[in-house]
Amino acid sequence: MNTSNIKNFAKYDLTINKVFYRNMIIMSLCIAVGISALGFMGRYMLYSSATAMGPVMPYDYAHFRNPQVTMVFLSIFIGMLPCIFAGCTFHNLRKKQGRIMELTLPTSNKEKYIWHIIVSVGFGFLLTLASVLVADLFNYLLHICVFGNEYTYSMTAKMFDILSINIPEAELAQQATKFPIYSLLSSMRLLIITSSIMGTCAYIYGNSVKYHYNIIITYGIMLGASIILAIGISVIFGAAHVNVEGDKIKGMSTDEIGMMNDLTILFYCLAAAFATIAGICVWRSYKRYCNAQITTATNK
Amino acid sequence: MNFKESKAIYLQIADYLMEKILQGTYKESERIPSVRECAADLEVNVNTCMRAYDWLCQQEVIFTKRGLGYFVSDGAKHAILKEQREEFMNETLPEIARKMQALEISPDEIMEKLKNLQ
Amino acid sequence: MLEIKNLTFAYRGTKDVISDLSLEFKEGGVYGLLGKNGTGKSTLLYLIMGLLKPRMGEVMMDGKNTFERHPDTLSQMFIVPEEYEMPNTTLDKYVEALRPFYPNFDEQVLNDCLEVFEMPTNMNLKDLSMGQKKKVYISLALSIRSKVLLMDEPTNGLDIPAKSQFRKALARGMNDEQIIIISTHQVRDVEMIIDHVTMINDNQVLMNEALDPETPVNLEELFLKKIGAL
């Protein structure tokens, strides 16, 4: 495997898809900034109407500078955009002519595949992050314009902080003496990370099956799978903690430490499962790419 | 150029080149277009053109100077005319004679007609 | 040398388009792949190029299986499909992007061919009409100077002057180490430029031989006779 081959293929891909990538960049920046702008406008309307109404509505600047709703929408954006990008991994192969050009290009399958992953996953994530930072900056600038140098905080930092829980450190430390909180939190973090990796890889695999607009189908499949998984876990977890005496169910176990430990183990297992599924998705999509033909059952 | 079915293509190409030499378009001792240029002009297979050139070399109508291309031989015009005269005498004329006999045309009638034509 | 060995192929759910086909193509030959529309000429070219997976048999280019898509093999092969879309970029930039993959690329040949086609040396590829796209793509294909050059109905969509330009460009651009395979149903467009004929119809090889330079033959008549007789 040759890095110069990957570079050559990269140059080729960027040359023929210049417009596509440019449009993706513009689209994600616009959406992110749009969310930020709309959020600001909404809050500002509430704030100005509240101020006009006086102490009846307690919506002061402290509320105003807390962009909760905006952050929710931006979180959705962070969740969705990398998946959309992953779902476009093989966009070169959408049309017959594109398949001819890419599949006959003298680079090995591995090298071409690696570049596609770098773009769809790496670039996708970076673009998402950059868009959110730009949205953040935009929000900050709006605040400065309207309110002068009033403090407002970075949405980006807050959102990525979701990986730690919104509990003050001192309280957390106190609880940890009684309950295995820290291990539970680590397992939760790992679960969130692996589930988003798995989500991205599922979109890559879905795209390798059908090169055209597979995003919606993949989303549907994943949604279905998540619901089944959630139901299954609740059943298993519930069953593990139901007290049975004789024939009768006496109620749920109140062993909170036990439950937390079980939950931690469950989360670690799930994280491992998700990582495995992600790996399988990537491997299978690579195999499909190697066997790509000019026409297939799902791509005419 | 429209090719006939009656004669090998490469020979028709050779005829075409010889015609150009007779007309003076390609002068003696001067370079003629390369095989590739000729093939492109006439829209034929390059190998077929090569065959034509080879044949003309054999007939000593043209010769090749290594690395420089093909040139019209000295006396090529004369050689071509000689060969074509021979072809006329040995092939075209007997054919006319056969036709004359079949159509019962006398040599005197031919002479009369020729005088009017020339 | 390009070898097709016992090749069998069918599109999903249909009967065999190609069945137990064996053919050989040697360097320096211009092969005409003649057949009516829909007889599998394009399919055969795609199979040669490694764009389709044979059901049975294989295509070997200098001893390597083409479906495995080794970069070394692919850098010696190029196909001009019947229809294609041009990327949204200029010819210059596109050539710069393709060059590193094809070591035999010759810019002079590209310019020669574009000249024959009366096309400018640089333009935005998206702005071209169908005929112009063909001319540029054919020029590009010839300038890549791959050992194997496949052309699928190259004269389709070209008007009569352009067909003439195509023959001229081919004579200017090809070299005698190439294996050129031109598939077409319009025999007259190519009968002067090919030196081997392979005729296929309904999954059968009707004819597969070199044209005898000493005996000219009306290919179009022969072609119609062969496919009409069956």
Of B5, B9, B39, the CB nearest to C171: B39
Strands C77-80 and C148-152: parallel
pLDDT of residue C217: 82
Say which CATH topology domain B9-74 has.
Answer: Arc Repressor Mutant, subunit A (1.10.10)
Separation of CA C20 from chain center: 21
Looking at residue C212, the DSSP 8-state letter turns out to be: P
pLDDT band of residue A253 (cuts 50, 70, 90) is: low
CB contact under 8 A, B47 and C176: yes
Q: Which helix (H) or strand (E) holds C152?
A: strand C148-152
Cα(A182)–Cα(A194) distance, integer angstroms:
18
Instruction: Determine contact, residues B100/B110, Cβ cutoff 8 Å.
Output: yes
Q: C127 CB near a chain A CB, below 8 Å?
A: no
User: Taking the CA of residue A240 as centre, how many other CA atoms within 13 Å lie in the half-sphere pointing to its CB?
Assistant: 15
Name the least confident of A26-40, A213-227, B44-58. A213-227
Cα(A136)–Cα(A133) distance, integer angstroms:
5
Cα(C42)–Cα(C151) distance, integer angstroms:
9
Looking at residue C24, the DSSP 8-state letter turns out to be: E
CB contact under 8 A, C87 and A294: no
Cα of C13 to nearest chain A Cα, Å: 10
Q: What sign for the dihedral angle of Cα B20, B25, B28, B34?
A: negative
Give the residue, A220 or A161, on which the prediction is more confident. A220
Alpha helices in C50-86 (DSSP H): 71-74
pLDDT of residue A3: 86
Of B8, B41, B44, the CB nearest to C193: B44
Cα(C37)–Cα(C207) distance, integer angstroms:
17
Of C11, C74, C88, the CB nearest to A105: C74
Cα(C69)–Cα(C75) distance, integer angstroms:
10
Cα of B6 to nearest chain C Cα, Å: 7
Mean pLDDT computed over B99-113: 88
- Which chain C residue has the Cα nearest residue A296? C12
Neighbours of chain A (3+ CB pairs under 8 A): C
CB contact under 8 A, B9 and C168: no
By C-alpha distance, which of A64, A245, A220, A59 is closest to A142?
Answer: A64
Cα(C108)–Cα(C216) distance, integer angstroms:
34
pLDDT of residue B60: 86
Instruction: Determine contact, residues C50/C68, Cβ cutoff 8 Å.
Output: yes
Q: Is the pLDDT of residue B42 over 90?
A: yes
By C-alpha distance, which of A91, A153, A82 is closest to A121?
Answer: A82
Q: A16: which chain C residues are within 8 Å (Cβ-Cβ)?
A: 87-89, 94, 97
Cα of C56 to nearest chain B Cα, Å: 35
pLDDT of residue A60: 63
Distances (CA, A) of B43 to A204, B1, B38, C16, C155: 50, 8, 8, 37, 14
- CB contacts < 8 A, B to C, total 56
By C-alpha distance, which of A240, A233, A234, A231 is closest to A259?
Answer: A240
State whether residue C129 is helix, strand or coil. coil
Residue whose token pair is 């010769």: B63
State whether residue C60 is helix, strand or coil. strand
- DSSP letters of C80-121? E-SS----SSBHHHHHHHHGGG-TT--HHHHHHHHHHTT--S
Q: What is the pLDDT of residues A170-182, one digit of tens each?
A: 776 777 677 777 7
pLDDT band of residue A164 (cuts 50, 70, 90) is: low
Q: C49: which chain A residues are within 8 Å (Cβ-Cβ)?
A: 104
Q: C215: which chain B residues are within 8 Å (Cβ-Cβ)?
A: 8
Instruction: Determine contact, residues A36/A135, Cβ cutoff 8 Å.
Output: yes
pLDDT band of residue A245 (cuts 50, 70, 90) is: low
Q: C171: which chain B residues are within 8 Å (Cβ-Cβ)?
A: 36, 39-40, 43-46, 49
In the structure encoding, which two tokens stand for residue C147, read together? Answer: 């050992």
Domain segments of chain A as ranges: 1-162, 164-300
Q: B8: which chain C residues are within 8 Å (Cβ-Cβ)?
A: 213-216
Of B5, B44, B51, the CB nearest to C192: B44
pLDDT of residue B107: 87
pLDDT of residue A248: 63
- Which chain C residue has the Cα nearest residue A297? C12
Q: C176 CB near a chain A CB, below 8 Å?
A: no
Cα of C95 to nearest chain A Cα, Å: 10
- DSSP letters of A51-64? HHHGGGS---HHHH
Q: C17 CB near a chain A CB, below 8 Å?
A: no
Task: Return the amino acid letter for A206.
Answer: G
Cα of C52 to nearest chain A Cα, Å: 5
Q: A11 CB near a chain C CB, below 8 Å?
A: yes
By C-alpha distance, which of C85, C128, C122 is closest to C107?
Answer: C122
State whether residue C39 is helix, strand or coil. coil
Q: Is the pLDDT of residue B38 over 80?
A: yes
How high is the mean pLDDT in each 10-residue block of chain C (230 residues)? 90 81 91 86 92 92 91 93 88 94 93 93 90 93 95 92 93 90 90 90 82 84 75
- Which chain C residue has the Cα nearest residue A12? C97
In the structure encoding, which two tokens stand for residue A10, read together? Answer: 């990269």
Mean pLDDT computed over A237-258: 67
In degrees, to the nearest 5, what angle opens at C-alpha B16 toward C-alphas B12 and B19?
A: 135
pLDDT of residue A64: 67
Cα(A3)–Cα(A11) distance, integer angstroms:
12
Q: What is the pLDDT of residues B62-79, one digit of tens each?
A: 999 888 899 998 888 888
Looking at residue C19, the DSSP 8-state letter turns out to be: E
CB contact under 8 A, C51 and A18: no
Q: List, in sequence order, every residue forming a beta bridge with C24; answer none if it has no partner.
A: C3
Q: Is the pLDDT of residue A61 over 70?
A: no
pLDDT of residue A149: 64
pLDDT of residue A58: 58
Q: A293 CB near a chain C CB, below 8 Å?
A: yes
Of C116, C164, C213, the CB nearest to B51: C213
ipTM: 0.88
pLDDT of residue A300: 67
User: Taking the CA of residue B11 as centre, how many other CA atoms within 13 Å lie in the half-sphere pointing to its CB?
Assistant: 10
Instruction: Determine contact, residues A121/A19, Cβ cutoff 8 Å.
Output: no
In the structure encoding, which two tokens stand for residue B23, read together? Answer: 């007309």
Q: A102: which chain C residues are within 8 Å (Cβ-Cβ)?
A: none
Looking at residue C51, the DSSP 8-state letter turns out to be: S
CB contact under 8 A, B45 and C28: no
Q: Is the pLDDT of residue A116 over 90?
A: yes
Give the residue, A48 or B112, on which the prediction is more confident. B112
pLDDT of residue A254: 62
Average model confidence (pLDDT) for chain A? 82
pLDDT of residue C153: 93
Dihedral (C-alpha) A66, A69, A71, A75: value to the nearest 10 degrees?
160
CB contact under 8 A, C172 and B44: no
CB contact under 8 A, C168 and B43: yes
By C-alpha distance, which of C51, C63, C81, C223 is closest to C141?
Answer: C81
Q: A290: which chain C residues are within 8 Å (Cβ-Cβ)?
A: 69
pLDDT of residue B83: 81
pLDDT of residue C35: 85
Optimal mutation site among A14, A94, A104, A113, interface C, most CBs of chain C within 10 A: A104
pLDDT of residue A258: 74
Instruction: Return the HEC string of chain B.
Output: CCCCCCCCHHHHHHHHHHHHHHHCCCCCCCEECCHHHHHHHHCCCHHHHHHHHHHHHHCCCEEEECCCEEEECCCHHHHHHHHHHHHHHHHHHHHHHHHHHHHCCCHHHHHHHHHHHC
Cα(A298)–Cα(A244) distance, integer angstroms:
51
Mean pLDDT computed over B14-32: 90
Q: What is the pLDDT of residues A198-208, one digit of tens each?
A: 888 999 998 99
CB contact under 8 A, A105 and C53: no
Mean pLDDT computed over A85-100: 90
Cα of C126 to nearest chain A Cα, Å: 11
Instruction: Determine contact, residues A266/A238, Cβ cutoff 8 Å.
Output: no
Cα(A2)–Cα(A108) distance, integer angstroms:
9
| Contact present, A and C (at least 3 Cβ pairs less than 8 Å) | yes
Optimal mutation site among A15, A22, A299, interface C, most CBs of chain C within 10 A: A15
C2-228 CATH: 3.40.50.300
Of C164, C174, C213, the CB nearest to B43: C164
> What's the first-to-final CA gap in chain C, in angstroms?
32
Of A18, A97, A293, the CB nearest to C81: A97
Mean pLDDT computed over A246-259: 66
pLDDT of residue A59: 60
Q: What sign for the dihedral angle of Cα B38, B44, B47, B53?
A: negative
